[in-house]
Structure 1
């Protein structure tokens, strides 16, 4: 009996540290998961607030041109400041300048996706007024969505089918919607809408990806000199999410390196500026007459010639309302 008791005590002594360690580890994992969820929510909220702020102070005419629904005037400064203010609030450093400075070191880059180009808000070194080297977030110039085909023709893409082309043969410049300049350009890429869209999307995504990788690597070099041990990396982003990123103007935010239990936080968030859906009116030509109709009211088999966000704009361009209850319905 004594032998059994001794064995039981011995077993407990051996296994007890294991159970205690395991329980502690489970508790740490639980707290880490809760923290990660809280951080995700904070960053998503900050990014969505920034996306709304992108269109701050834009007039209706600036915000939405008649034929280019995605061509909007963006306020990148307001967007970034809104992002940071929401981050400060959610991370409890709203009235703590030192804490704000630390939090910003976990933001390697922000990307503002514009209609005809993007801006990078990332870290760089500069010489301050005292002649000392200082590291801070700075804006890049606007970078176009550029592409060159195998024949040497160059393209400047946008978030829709509007494109600027420089023909290699005669250096002629053409600008307009793909369908409008196809006959003038005689460039194969412009003749196939699906191929054009695929190349356009791939070019935009590739440009942003390559630039992000460069900026993050550059920040790694800077941060190591300042004693930061964490290595920043470009997160794996699915193709679907990249496509969502370039469907409209918006902001892409990266937050990395925040200590979180036994690991580091590493995530990104996408915010599109079209949070509140605007009414959309399609303009078409049928039987020689120009009509417009609401997308929410009916559909049509006729080709959409122009897109508007108000009936007034459609009427000003010579379109008359289509009665969706009779004729011209698909």
Structure 2
């Protein structure tokens, strides 16, 4: 057999493998691009949700506390922003039916607050007509609670502020750890390093345990509707878990979206470094409507408060700049 015939035979043998390999390569490339698109959509959704947490919320309710992390949370604004951005990122902003399908792949969303967290998940209850109602809703606030073997209990926050019950003295103490440790017999308050370690692990474990519980419930719910995918607790990096105990944040994850030969599983954390912003005060200065930051020290009678200077300007208030 001539060499050209051998070449033709070799090409015929190689061609099917090359075709299959090219097909698999193209499929992998498309899958990777789709995954990147989904990641970007999910990241943008939690970032927008986090940015809306303090919008239109009454920050004056928290003014008596010194921590920048203690901010009033507008959960409804946050969840609306999350789904609005997620739907846009997935290209289903004008398709309510597909939106409903997409949202079924989100078992739970967590808002990590200053002294507790909230979970947005599917809830089941009996309506006034006696029928079972199933709808996503916010659960009750879950504290970062800890108890030791001696019967002492503590409620942690995202900083050193703590509410502690001293079993030996049967007394309650609230304040920064460094300010109240000498007033109690609680061993954990005496050791700053141990306190920080336990505080962080308590917050992370509380969120993990609640997520695991909610996912179990969600699996029971979706199995009744015919969905076969089993949701599991997401594998979240230690760095991201550390971020959850440092700042007010939003945590969401998506699981089980069909994507070629695999399924899309991911999570996103947004809102790191949310800080308490000065309230914008709308006031009357004589006959003129003015606005200024609460930190400026003006004493003009407040008419309204706003989350931003733009919001005050839209209501017809003129800027009054801080002295100096």
TM-score using structure 2 length:
0.80
Deviation at 1:170, TM superposition (A): 3.9
Q: 1:278 to 1:22 in 2, by over 3 A?
A: same
SS in 2 for 1:189: helix
Give distance in 1, aligned partners of 2:217 and 2:146: 25
Corresponding residue number in structure 1 for 2:78: 79
Cα root mean square deviation, aligned: 2.3
- Please give the per-residue CA displacement for 1:275-328, whole angstroms capped at 9, x wherever unaligned: 57869xxxxxxxxxxxxxxxxxxxxxxxxxxxxx94759xxxxxxxxxxxxxxx
- Answer yes or no: is the 8 Å Cα contact 2:109–2:251 preserved in 1: yes
Question: Partner residue of 1:45?
Answer: 44
Partner of 2:179: 180
Moved more, 34-43 or 163-172: 163-172
- Aligned-partner Cα distance in 2 for 1:32–1:66: 48
SS in 2 for 1:137: strand
Q: 1:51, CA displacement in angstroms?
A: 0.3
Residues 163 and 122 from structure 1, CA distance in 2 versus in 1: closer, same or farther, beyond 3 angstroms? same
Equivalent residue, structure 1, for 2:105: 106
Unaligned runs of 5+ residues in structure 2 are: 279-293, 299-324
Q: CA deviation at 1:258?
A: 1.1
Is the alpha carbon distance of 1:16 and 1:114 closer, same or farther for their aligned partners in structure 2, counting shifts above 3 Å?
same
2:145 is paired with a residue of what secondary structure? strand
Q: Give the secondary-structure state (helix, strand or coil) at the position aligned to 1:257.
A: strand
- In structure 1, stretches of 5+ residues that fail to align are 280-308, 314-330
**CA deviation map 1:141-187 (0-9, x unaligned):** 00110001121101111111111111222432111111221111121
**In the TM superposition, what is the alpha-carbon distance from 1:221 to its structure 2 partner?**
2.0
Q: Distance in 2 between matches of 1:64 and 1:13?
A: 78
User: Which residue in 2 is equivalent to 1:142?
Assistant: 141
The two structures have a TM-score, normalised by structure 1, of: 0.79
Matching of residue 226 in structure 1 with residue 225 in structure 2: yes
Q: Measure how far apart 1:64 and its partner are.
A: 5.2
**Partner residue, 1:157:** 156
User: Residues 30-75 of structure 1, C-alpha deviation per residue, up to 9 Å, x if partnerless?
Assistant: 0011111111111111101100110011345346545222111101
Deviation at 1:11, TM superposition (A): 3.4
8 Å CA contact 1:144–1:156 kept in 2: the answer is yes
Asked if 1:194 is matched to 2:193, the reply is yes
1:250 aligns with 2:260: no
Between the aligned partners of 1:230 and 1:189, the Cα distance in structure 2 is 43
Question: Using a 3 Å threshold, how does the CA distance of structure 1 residues 7 and 63 change in structure 2: closer, same or farther?
Answer: farther
